[in-house]
Amino acid sequence: MSGAGADQTRGRGDDRVFRVVVLASGNGSNLQAIIDQLHGKPASVAEAEGPVIEVVLVVSDQPGARALDRAKKAGIPTAVCPRALGADRKEQEKAVLEAVSGASPDLVVLAGYMLIVPPEFVRSFPLKVINLHPALLPAFPGTTSIEDALEHGVKVTGVTVHFVDEGLDTGPIISQRAVPVEEGDTADELAERIHAVEHELLPATIRLLALGGAKPPLSGTRVVQVD
Ligand code: GRF
């Protein structure tokens, strides 16, 4: 079984399929890790059970994003909603919401998506939007986490996957993995080791969610219960 639509008997509303939409702005190496490790495969590899994970759509705000080429090569539908400023930004956000809603996702993955998703988007998919962040949140939120970690001289940084809420990198944390900072590391060297960890942690976390292994935080708490 490989590729979207490999089995035409599965589809929307079929609980044997876990429908994933990925939003990406750039290189898409994490999208590639999802495609290689998860796309068209059962969530539980060892026992070949659980739903089959399908990446049903890749959305980008950048028409030239390499992520789009990676999706097309894997036969995955794509949508481009070019980033816009001012009043047009609302239109762009609406277009993204429509595209993603139209794909009926079980999970929306922000994998290097460089725009902040608006509150309406988060509310449309409660506890179904996750983000990958290259630091151990709540340390170093924002877009310069790797440089910030080096500047602060931390000895350990890492990778976080978290549910997206209406703040910036503030949502409940699902999974984290540490990455040691080596003496003399450049930002590129540290980024390379962080990316290698991302390529394991993100697919593993998606698999966990597909198998129902992460319980949303109880009301009034932020702690995700992970099996
Ligand atoms: C990753 O480092 C991710 O943590 C950050 O953006 C980067 C995306 O990389 N949010 P890629 O496009 O998946 O290669």
- Provide the pLDDT for residue 10: 59
In tens digits, what is the pLDDT along the chain, a chain of 227 residues?
233 333 445 566 667 999 999 999 999 999 999 999 999 999 987 766 789 999 999 999 999 999 999 999 999 999 999 999 888 999 999 999 999 999 999 999 999 999 999 999 999 999 999 999 999 999 999 999 999 999 999 999 999 999 999 999 999 999 999 999 999 999 999 999 999 999 999 999 999 999 999 988 988 899 999 98
Quote the ligand 1 centre to 132 CA distance (angstroms). Answer: 7
Q: Which atom of ligand 1 is nearest to the CA of 31?
A: 13
**pTM of the full structure:** 0.93
**Active-site annotation holder among 39, 133, 162, 199:** 133
Q: Which atom of ligand 1 is nearest to the CA of 30?
A: 13
- CA angle (199 as vertex; 157, 161 as ends), nearest 5: 55
- Provide the pLDDT for residue 69: 98
| Ligand 1 site, residue 26, Cβ cutoff 6 A | yes
